[in-house]
Amino acid sequence: MKTCLILALDGSPLSSVSGPLEILALANESLQTEQRFQIRVVSESDRPIAGAMGLNLTSHSQLSHEQETACLILVAAIGHPSTRKVPINPEVIGWLKSQYQQGAEIATICTGAFVLAETGLLDGRIATTHWSCESLFRQRFPAIDLHCEKMITEDAGLMCAGGASAFQDMSLYLIKRYLGEAIAQRCARTLLIDLDRHSQLRYRSFKPGFQHQDTLIHKLQDWLAEHYASECSLPVLAAQINLSERQMIRRFKAATGEAPLAYIQSLRVEQAKNRLLASKKSIDKISHECGYQDVRFFRDLFKRHTDLSPSEYRNKFMMLDHAAS
């Protein structure tokens, strides 16, 4: 029997604990007893886990009771790391490192990647986390090869899933990895979960960074918010704030973290996404309204940013909007 431990810390959204627990338990129903996962939720101590939204969770076990090597450890999300008031317990870090060194594989859900990153085990390796935490993750863990466009990453037995609902994707990925394709497909059909979600790009929103003190770049960002569809060449941008092109590029990247032209592309694609869902205008017209006369270039750019063509994006998210209403 394979031992799977789900590590839940204070602040963990309960769905990232109960979700994998239920999906893995569903997979167990298709197996003989000796083939099943033995699943336990473990916590730091014997007190209830203070989950998100004021709900508490009682674990099956505590770290101090789990000294034997597990087959798999699944680290639940921890909420947004920027709002976490206490650091990760060193005992948690030491336990994860010890388990991995003894042969356990470790998977994380969403911001659980921040916990695994604290161990140093991800240094030099590929990882992902929720796209909204990308800049914070890069700031804290520059040695990790972060790919927030990916839904799931795997490197040397260390697996990460981006997004809170990605517990579904990770659970099915683990079922396929440990139990085979047929059982993963069966679980996916039972739960009505797609097995083809490989990218976070389609869910990502571009939010311009204004959290800096460069007033000239603030001025340029305000201008771009109004004139993103106009000519936005480097000479035009530099002239808006009376700097040389080289000065403008350097200060813009230092302030926002992005090169000016990449920033403009992201701004235009975000506007295009809004227009695709808010109107029935043709792709050609939306392309022109967002600053691209070359519609083929716009389609290619849109797909690079979202992993979907403009028409696929419209169909997918208008369908979701209708379902929600």
Question: At 283, which CATH number?
Answer: 1.10.10.60
Q: How confident is the model at residue 48 (pLDDT cuts 50, 70, 90)?
A: confident
Q: Does 250 share its domain with 313?
A: yes
Q: Does 51 share its domain with 10?
A: yes
Q: Does 129 share its domain with 6?
A: yes
Q: How confident is the model at residue 244 (pLDDT cuts 50, 70, 90)?
A: very high
Q: Does 60 share its domain with 136?
A: yes
Q: Is the pLDDT of residue 323 over 60?
A: no
Q: Does 40 share its domain with 174?
A: yes
Q: Is the pLDDT of residue 53 over 90?
A: no
Q: How confident is the model at residue 215 (pLDDT cuts 50, 70, 90)?
A: very high
Could you tell me if 26 and 187 are in contact, meaning their C-beta atoms sit under 8 angstroms apart?
yes
Over residues 287-301, the mean pLDDT reads 94
Q: Does 86 share its domain with 121?
A: yes
Token pair for 160: 């990460």
Over residues 225-243, the mean pLDDT reads 93
- Please report the pLDDT score of residue 203 as a whole number: 73
Q: Does 34 share its domain with 163?
A: yes
Distance (Å, whole) CA 302 – CA 251: 27
Domain boundary among 156, 176, 203: 203
Could you tell me if 107 and 159 are in contact, meaning their C-beta atoms sit under 8 angstroms apart?
yes
3-state class (DSSP) for residue 202:
helix
Q: Are strands 145-146 and 126-127 parallel, antiparallel or unpaired?
A: parallel
Q: Does 228 share its domain with 196?
A: no
Neighbours of 128 (CB within 10 A): 28
Lowest mean pLDDT among 6-20, 54-68, 123-137, 308-322: 308-322
- Please report the pLDDT score of residue 321 as a whole number: 52
Provide CB contacts within 8 A for 267, sequence distance 6+.
206, 208, 224, 225, 228
The residues with which 270 forms a beta bridge, in sequence order, are: none
Q: Are strands 61-62 and 37-43 parallel, antiparallel or unpaired?
A: parallel
CA atoms within 13 A on the CB side of 253: 8
SS3 content of the chain, % helix, strand, coil (to 5): 50, 15, 35
Q: Does 49 share its domain with 146?
A: yes
Provide CB contacts within 8 A for 215, sequence distance 6+.
none
Over residues 238-266, the mean pLDDT reads 93
Q: Smallest Cα–Cα separation from 275: which of 218, 36, 284, 144? A: 284
Token pair for 67: 């000294």
Classify residue 97: in a domain, yes or no: yes
Classify residue 67: in a domain, yes or no: yes
Q: Where are the beta strands (DSSP E) in 158-254?
A: 158-161
Q: Does 232 share its domain with 298?
A: yes
- CATH number for position 124: 3.40.50.880
What values do phi and psi take at 246, rounded to 5? -65, -45
Domain boundary among 148, 169, 203: 203
Average pLDDT over all residues of the chain: 89
Domains held by the chain: number: 2
Q: How confident is the model at residue 325 (pLDDT cuts 50, 70, 90)?
A: very low
Classify residue 208: in a domain, yes or no: no
- Please report the pLDDT score of residue 142 as a whole number: 95
Q: Is the pLDDT of residue 198 over 80?
A: no
Lowest mean pLDDT among 33-47, 117-131, 194-208: 194-208
Distance (Å, whole) CA 130 – CA 78: 11
Classify residue 101: in a domain, yes or no: yes
Q: Does 189 share its domain with 221?
A: no
Q: Is the pLDDT of residue 164 over 60?
A: yes
Classify residue 159: in a domain, yes or no: yes
Domain limits for position 293: 215-324
Domain boundary among 173, 203, 233: 203
Distance (Å, whole) CA 111 – CA 33: 33
Q: Does 192 share its domain with 249?
A: no
Classify residue 210: in a domain, yes or no: no
Q: Is the pLDDT of residue 308 over 90?
A: no
Token pair for 115: 């916990």
Classify residue 209: in a domain, yes or no: no
Distance (Å, whole) CA 96 – CA 288: 52
Classify residue 234: in a domain, yes or no: yes
